[in-house]
Structure 1
Amino acid sequence: MIDVHEVLDKLNPNQKINYDKLLQKMIAQWQSQSVRPKILLHSCCAPCSTYTLEYLTQYADVTVYYANSNIHPRAEYERRRYVQQKFINDFNENTNNHVQFLSAPYEPNDWVKTMRGLEDEPEGGARCRVCYDYRLEKVAAKAVELGFDYFASALTISPHKNSQIINEVGVEVQHVYSAHYLPSDFKKNNGYQRSVDMCKTYDVYRQCYCGCIFAAKKQGVDLAQINREARAFNVGKDGDTEFAHINFKIDQETEVQS
C-alpha cells in the first residue's frame, strides 16, 4: 500500500498541504496498479459518512468504524449509532455496495479522563485535537488488528472541523501503529453540500452538536431535551439485530493470517 509520506515528502515543507489533492494522487496510484484497498473509516455520525462513502466506495472496500465515546448522553450515542447503521443499510441497497459496520466499545468515562484539564478549551482548540487523537488511535489499532490497508476519518467533511489538524493527527498516529493513514478533505469538491443533499434523500437525522458535553454546554444545547428525544427515538430499535447483515465479517484469509 501507499504510505502518505511517499507523497508528502515531495512537497515543499513550508506550503499548506491540500489533503484533497493528496487523496486524489493516492487514488490515481491505486487505479494505475489495479488495486482496490480495504479502508477502515472512522465515522462520527451518519451525515458525515454520506458523501464520504459515496466517494470512497468508487475505489475501495469500506468498513465504517463507529468509535465515538465522546458522544453524550448515552441515549444520543445510541441514536446516532442506529442512524449510522440504517444509513449504511439503505446506501448499500440503493447503490449495490457492500459497506460493513463495526462499533467500538462505548467508554465515556475514559474519554472524560483523557480530556481532563481541557474542559474549558474553546471549540476547535486543544481539546478537539486530543479528541481526534483519542479516536483515530482506536481506529488505527483496529485497522492493524483486522488487516485493513488504510484507516481514515469522515470528520474532514465537516466545515466546523479543521481538516489540517485532523490530517496532521492522522499522520502522527500512523507512525505509532505502523498503519497507513488515508488523508482527506471530503468537504472539498462540493462534498459538504452533497452530504446535506444525501441526508435529505435518505431522511438522515442531523444532530445540532458534535456530541462533546463540554462543547454542548458552551453552545447552550439543552442536553436534557436531547436525552428525552433520543430515548423516545430508541424505543423498539435494535440496530445490531435489524441490520445484522452489515456487521463486519472476518473473511477466511484474515482468519488464516491471524
Structure 2
Amino acid sequence: MTDPATTTDRPVLTPPDGHRKVLLHSCCAPCSGEVMEAMTASGIDYTIFFYNPNIHPQQEYLLRKEENVRFAEKHGVPFVDCDYDTDNWFARAKGMEWEPERGIRCTMCFDMRFERTALYAHENGFPVMTSSLGISRWKDMNQINGSGARAVAPYDGLDYWDFNWRKGGGSNRMIEISKREEFYQQEYCGCVYSLRDTNRHRREVDRKPIEIGKLYYSKADKAD
C-alpha cells in the first residue's frame, strides 16, 4: 500500500540552518497530521513532544493524546508523553479566567507549553523545535511564533522553526488527513475557559452543548 505521507506533491522542507533533527510540539492529531506527513515526505528526523496541560477535562486530554499516539505509531515516529500538570497551568492562568481567545491567557498557555518543549529540546540534543499549533486558522500565527522565539532564547544552538504550515494547501490537507484517518474531532480549543465560552455561544444560537468523545471526522465527508 502506498504511503500518502510520501506521495503528496509537497515542496521539500528545510529546517533552520539545514538541520534535519526536529522536536515537534503537538497539540493534537488533526493539527499535527499534515505537519508530520510534510516532515516525513522531506526526510526530516522528528520526534513528537506532547505537553498540553491546558486541555480540560482529563477525558478530552486522553482522547486527544491517544489519537496522536495512534498516528505516531502508524508512522513509526517517537512520541514523548509529558506531564499533565494541570495545577501549574491553572496557577499561571489565575486572574486571566475571563480573557478572550487569542488574548493574554492564550499567550501564557503557549509560553508555558513551549518553555517545556524548549527545555526538553535543549537537554536532549534537538537543534530545532516547532509546533503544529499554527496550522489552525483559529490561532494567531504571530502570537504563536512570539512564544516560540521567547522559549528558545535562553538556549544557545536551539532554533524555533516558524514555518507557516497553512501555506501551500497545508490547511486543506490537514482536513483531508483528519477525514482519511477518522480522527477525533475536538470542538473547542482545549482549556476549561474555552469550553465554557464555546458552550455559552452554543446556547445563544440554540445549539446543544459539546459532548466530549462523540464527534469524529468521517471518510464519508471527504467530498464536503
Same fold at TM > 0.5:
yes
Q: SS of 1:148's equivalent?
A: coil
TM-score, reference length from structure 1? 0.70
Q: From the superposition, tell whether residues 170 and 204 of structure 1 become closer, same or farther in structure 2 (CA, over 3 Å).
A: same
Asked if structure 2 preserves the Cα contact closer than 8 Å seen for 1:67 and 1:103, the reply is: yes
Q: Unpaired segments of 5 or more residues in structure 1? A: 1-22, 93-97, 231-258
Per-residue deviation, residues 163-199 of structure 1 (Å, max 9, x unmatched): 1111111112111233221112211111111010001
Aligned partners of 1:122, 1:177: CA distance in 2, in Å?
31
The offset of 1:27, in angstroms, is: 4.1
Q: Which residue matches 2:26?
A: 43
Q: Which residue matches 2:221?
A: none
The offset of 1:155, in angstroms, is: 0.4
Q: From the superposition, tell whether residues 143 and 28 of structure 1 become closer, same or farther in structure 2 (CA, over 3 Å).
A: closer
Q: Which residue matches 2:67?
A: 83
Q: Which moved more, 1:129-138 or 1:81-90?
A: 81-90
Does 1:128 find its partner at 2:112?
no
Asked if structure 2 preserves the Cα contact closer than 8 Å seen for 1:27 and 1:59, the reply is: no
Does 1:54 find its partner at 2:33?
no
> What number of residue pairs does the alignment pair up?
194
Asked if structure 1 preserves the Cα contact closer than 8 Å seen for 2:15 and 2:128, the reply is: no
Q: Give the structure with the higher percent helix.
A: 1
Aligned partners of 1:153, 1:70: CA distance in 2, in Å?
16
The offset of 1:88, in angstroms, is: 1.4
Aligned partners of 1:74, 1:137: CA distance in 2, in Å?
22
TM-score, reference length from structure 2? 0.81
Letter in 1 for 2:87: N
Q: Which residue matches 1:17?
A: none
Q: From the superposition, tell whether residues 152 and 76 of structure 1 become closer, same or farther in structure 2 (CA, over 3 Å).
A: same
Q: Which residue matches 1:99?
A: 77
Asked if structure 2 preserves the Cα contact closer than 8 Å seen for 1:65 and 1:104, the reply is: yes
Letter in 1 for 2:65: R
Aligned partners of 2:169, 2:188: CA distance in 1, in Å?
22
Over the aligned positions, Cα root-mean-square deviation in angstroms equals 2.1
- Where does 1:176-191 land on structure 2 (aligned, <5 Å)? 176-178=154-156, 179-191=158-170
Letter in 2 for 1:156: G
Asked if structure 1 preserves the Cα contact closer than 8 Å seen for 2:101 and 2:194, the reply is: yes
Aligned partners of 2:127, 2:81: CA distance in 1, in Å?
18
Does 1:172 find its partner at 2:172?
no
The offset of 1:108, in angstroms, is: 0.8
Letter in 1 for 2:36: L
